[in-house]
Amino acid sequence: MSSTLCRSLLSCVALAGAALALPPALAAQEPLLQWSGTARFSDGEEEQWIVHLRVEEDRLQGDLLFAAGTGAVLEGIERTGGLAFRFAGASASSHIHCRLLGSDVLSGDCVDASGAMALHLTLTPSARGVGPDYRDDGAARPRARDIGLIVGVFPPGPLNAITDVQGVRVGHATIRQGDDIRTGVTAVIPAPGDLYARPVPAWIYSANGYGKLIGETQVREFGEIETPILLTCTLCVWSAARALAWTLMEADSTPEHTINPVVGETNDSWLSDMWADPVSAAHVREALASASSGVVAEGSVGAGTGTTAFGWKGGIGTSSRMLPESLGGWTVGVLVQTNFGGALTMNGAPVGRELGAFTYRSELARPNDAPEPQPEDGGSLMMVVATDAPLDANTLQRLAERAMFGAVRTGSFAHNSSGDYVVAFSTASGVRRERDAASLRVAPSLSNPQMSPLFAAVVEATEEAIYNAMLKASTTRGRGHVYKALPLDSTLDILQKYGVLHWNRTLPR
């Protein structure tokens, strides 16, 4: 695994042979070979592409990146006389075949299934450290605070997770089947006890309503949530909702009644075949049964298994904030499912722009061309907000609206086809009420000025939860496509360049 350029085909082959003996964990962490170059299409347009080859399970495998971390999985790789491979074309049923010749520089044509030339590709060998560092480092990836990315001024809770709010539990079911299913279910259980008999105050805020959020209207009507909250894939919501409803009713000895499951989604179809309806009742029950009040798994897990964000792999992320006693002493926790576009900004540093990855980049480069939709343009963002502050539906609405401010800080602009929702609830015992209570109740409440610290806390926690989702997410391949994890070394260089790390060291003590 040398960092020097691969200057000839023979040395490339020799290096590949040597790499076969490396431990799989090491071989999976760094590209065996990397080329970068220009793809010139038949209409004269050009794009900058990156090709990675790696050893995985004693086989040579590869990825082609054509936008940030977005790309295609290479198949049928051959190294004889140069480099040949194929990858999925514009449609799921089409493939592009490339055969490149040369030693220092690889060059050749790529043809479609009919044999017509699709593009001409010229690649130059690249040393690691040249361009973004797209290592597949999986579970070893850090959270924001692990790299000194400190968001805001309020301290996090002990777990820096939504489970810092007492009584909240989170569980996942991760579904990876064959080459085409990369999805899952994430369950958030708002509070202990029978949620149907004693719902929690809640509100759902729709910043951009392009989505399939089941249960929204009853939550708005009653200002309460009576079931766990599930997150999953877009076309999985109905299967998940049915499974949740029947699982809860089968365990309920109450006479016949209806139930209002709350199920949100994001579109993970670039990596997962959501048309196969991959979520079953068993997956929903797994997510519910695994829910705990401890550490929350983040990244490419549960409902975040196949999601993306800002042109890289997205996923599940969480964070929390604890207010000092002078400001109420309340805790706010946030969990996100990231799957949206924009220009990634971290503590104000223009990470997406520095890495050359942001929405409308191709349109700005070719202003006279008709726009072409990209996988990262739309998507959605689900945000779940929990607090132990005694809030009712009205004040939870105000809190939920502020969560979107945290998303905006990361670079979101709520794209037309991005379903951006916030589900907010309070776990305070004093504001929960019996479903069929006949007597008046007196519930604690906060004054309007007391809400401001909670607003600040939810903005900070949402922003950091999104960073955690992206930093923890690992490279994922599915449906012939790949989304690379956010390049850590390159990102850290940018954050250091703009001086946005370790801000906590400058706060007064």
Three-state DSSP class for residue 27:
helix
Task: Give the separation between CA 430 and CA 422, rounded to whole angstroms.
Answer: 23
Record the tokens describing residue 428, joined without a space: 């305070």
Burial 231-261 (b: 16+ CB within 10 A, else e): bbbbbbbebbbebbbebbeeeeeeeeeebbb
Instruction: Judge contact between 481 and 270, C-beta under 8 A.
Output: yes
Residue 404, SS3 per DSSP: helix
Report residue 419 CA to chain centroid gap: 14
What sign does the CA torsion over 424, 429, 432, 434 have? positive
Q: Say whether 418 is catalytic.
A: yes
Return phi, psi of residue 337, to 5°. -120, 105
**What is the three-state SS of 274-311?**
HHHCCCCHHHHHHHHHCCECCCCCCECCHHHCCCEECC
Question: Which of 332, 333, 352 lies closest to 342, judged by CA?
Answer: 352
Helix (H) or strand (E) holding 241: helix 237-250
Question: Cα 207 from chain centroid?
Answer: 18
Alpha-carbon distance of 2 to 180, in angstroms, equals 34
CB under 8 Å to 250, separation ≥6 — which residues?
A: none
Q: Which of 126, 272, 300, 418 is catalytic?
A: 418
Cβ-based burial of 422 (10 A; exposed 0-12, middle 13-18, buried ≥19): buried
CA distance 286 to 507: 43
109 has catalytic annotation: no
**Which of the following is catalytic: 319, 420, 426, 474?**
420
| 331 vs 321: CA distance, rounded Å | 6
- Catalytic site residue from 272, 380, 412, 426: 380
**86 three-state secondary structure:** strand
Separation of first and last alpha carbons in the chain: 46
Answer yes or no: 290 catalytic.
no
Which of 470, 462, 465, 498 has the alpha carbon at shortest distance from 376?
470
Active site residue ranges: 380, 418, 420
